[in-house]
Each structure stands twice: as structure tokens, then as C-alpha cells.
Amino acid sequence: MKLARFEYNSVIYFGLADPKEETLTGVALRPTNRDQMIELMQAQTDGRDLNLCGPYFDLADVKFLPPISEPSKNILCIGKNYVEHAKEFARSGFDSSAKSKEENPPEDPIIFSKAPCTMIGAYEHIRPPWDITSKVDYEGELGVVIGVGGRSISRESAYEHVWGYTIINDVTARDLQAVHMQWLLGKSIDTFCPIGPWIVSADELDPGDLDLKCWVNDELRQDANTGDLIFDIPAIIEAISASMSLFPGDIIATGTPAGVGIGYDPPRFLKPRDRVRVAISGIGEIENTVV
């Protein structure tokens, strides 16, 4: 099941996506103040009918929006969660958390966050504030969407709390990330979290074996498999929920593999008109242009 939130003729809809047929089937929803995607996820978890009664849309005719409009907290992100990326980040000189350029991969998950104002749809534009940053980077990642909340979740039961998966580009202003000695401001710029195009239910995927690729202007930059994560999804959920409660609709970005702009010598930062495409097997792809 692929649930999408999208806009058509200035009206927001929720629907079931069928990429093979290139269509969306609208879901009838009663008025509510809640995030209706979370309501749909709960209905699917409970085995209730999603009331697929149309209207029907062509994928090409709609504007995809972030699948979750209002998570209960910031997007929770995992830093340096692929070995080779951890090494390239330490060597780059932009990692203010590294003790040396030869630092080993982390022994425990590194947790940071991005503000929800960063989220944009799967094909919307990335709009860096060029007056305060000149070193904008890309980070293709697998996103995890929580379906069942909880606190102190064990790794053995972690997948019971996952509703599904999506694609995230954790866009980053490397210069701000370095100068502020922490990552929040460099990560939380408006439009710096393209996400989508939909959420794929957990029963359709093996999250431990997904191919992740990222291209800039059709040049392949990142090519990895989620089996290479240092901390897998159960370990991540266990670590986060030991400190804070997770709620339905919360989003976790699991980390990016090697091949980001700072991994090159010299670094290859994004420029206006660059197109960044992130694809994950079994989910689909997002593509965003820098303006």
C-alpha cells in the first residue's frame, strides 16, 4: 500500500498510489483537525476499510505534498550511519563533532533533528538562502514513519511500531553546520527536506535490503544498500524511544551513505539549476531542482 498526500486544483487530497498504472485513487475522509494521513495509517493498521471511492487522478497531474503534514516533533535523524560516509565526513573538515580526521564510526547512534518547516513535496524546488550559505549538500536517505507510538521500545518489538517507509533528501548547509558547532540550523532551513512521494506500508518492503541511489544532474553520486547501515532500524528506534515517546506520524531519517558533496576533493556543492534525484527500490523516487 502506497499512501500519498497531494494537491489537485488547489484542493488537498489523500489517496492510494499505483505507480504501475500511474494513477491515484482518492480516499473519502470526514472533516477533522487531525493529520488525516495519520488517521489513514491507523485505519489500515486496524484493518478498517479505507473507503476508496475516487475521484481518480493521473500521477502526472497532481502536486505531491509531504506525506505527513504535522509530525508530533522534529524529524529525527541519524548521523554518520554508514561506515564510508562517517569516514568521508570526518576527512572533510566540516564535522565539528569529529575528534580527528581518522575518527572511527560511532559506537552509539548519533541523533539530531530537522524542523518540520523543512519538508517539501517530492518534486518541489529546494530554495537555499544564498545570502547565508554557499555550501549546500545533498543526502539521500531512507525515511521510517512510525505507526504505533511507544516509549522504551525494545529492538525485538521495534518493527511492530513502524507503519512504513519513504524517501528523504536531508539537504544540508555545510558551512552553517560547521560554524554553529552543531547541526540544527544547517539542517533546518526551509525547503531542506524533500520527502515522499508517498509512504509505502511495511508489509511491502524488507528495509534491511533496499538499494539507495542519488544522482545530481543524472550523475550517480550515491549508491548503497540499507543492509550497510551501522545501526539498523530496530537499534535506532530502541535508542530514540529510550529517551522520548514516539507517536504515530513521527519520521526518522536513517542516515546517508558515502558520495555526498563534501566527500569529493574538492567538494562538489549544489548550485542553482542542479537536479537532485533520490531513488530507493520498492518505494520510488523524488527529484528536486535547486533554485
> Closest Cα to residue 260, out of 76, 86, 121, 99?
86
* Residue 34: band (very low, low, confident or very high) from pLDDT cuts 50, 70, 90: confident
pLDDT over 90 (residue 29): no
| Residue-wise pLDDT tens digits, 60-103 | 999 999 999 989 999 999 999 998 887 877 777 766 666 655 66
Average pLDDT for residues 146-150, to the nearest whole number? Answer: 97
46 Cβ contact partners less than 8 Å away, ≥ 6 residues apart: none
pLDDT over 90 (residue 17): yes
Average pLDDT for residues 112-132, to the nearest whole number? Answer: 98
73: amino acid identity, one letter: K
C-alpha cell at 84: 564510508
Note the pLDDT of residue 23.
Answer: 95
d(C-alpha 247, C-alpha 145), whole Å:
10
CA 211 vs CA 7, 30, 229: distances in Å: 29, 38, 12
pTM of the model as a whole: 0.95
Specify which residues 174 forms β-bridges with. Answer: none
3-state secondary structure of 204: helix
Note the pLDDT of residue 102.
Answer: 63
| Residue-wise pLDDT tens digits, 243-283 | 999 999 999 999 999 999 999 999 999 999 999 999 999 99
Note the pLDDT of residue 4.
Answer: 97
CA 251 vs CA 8, 17, 152, 169: distances in Å: 25, 20, 17, 13
d(C-alpha 280, C-alpha 206), whole Å:
12
Note the pLDDT of residue 6.
Answer: 95
The pairing of strands 119-120 and 193-201 is parallel
* Residue 50: band (very low, low, confident or very high) from pLDDT cuts 50, 70, 90: confident
Q: Sign (positive/negative) of CA torsion 159, 163, 168, 173?
A: negative
Residue ranges and CATH numbers for the domains of the chain are 2-64 (2.30.30), 75-289 (3.90.850.10)
3-state secondary structure of 141: strand
Note the pLDDT of residue 19.
Answer: 94
Note the pLDDT of residue 31.
Answer: 63
How many helices (H) and strands (E) the chain has is answered by: 5, 18
Note the pLDDT of residue 97.
Answer: 63
**Average pLDDT of the chain, as a whole number:** 93
In a 10 Å sphere around its CB, with 0-12 CB exposed, 13-18 middle and 19+ buried, how is residue 110 labelled?
middle
* Residue 213: band (very low, low, confident or very high) from pLDDT cuts 50, 70, 90: very high
The proportion of the chain whose per-residue pLDDT surpasses 90, expressed as a percent, equals: 80
Q: 106 near 80, Cβ under 8 Å?
A: yes
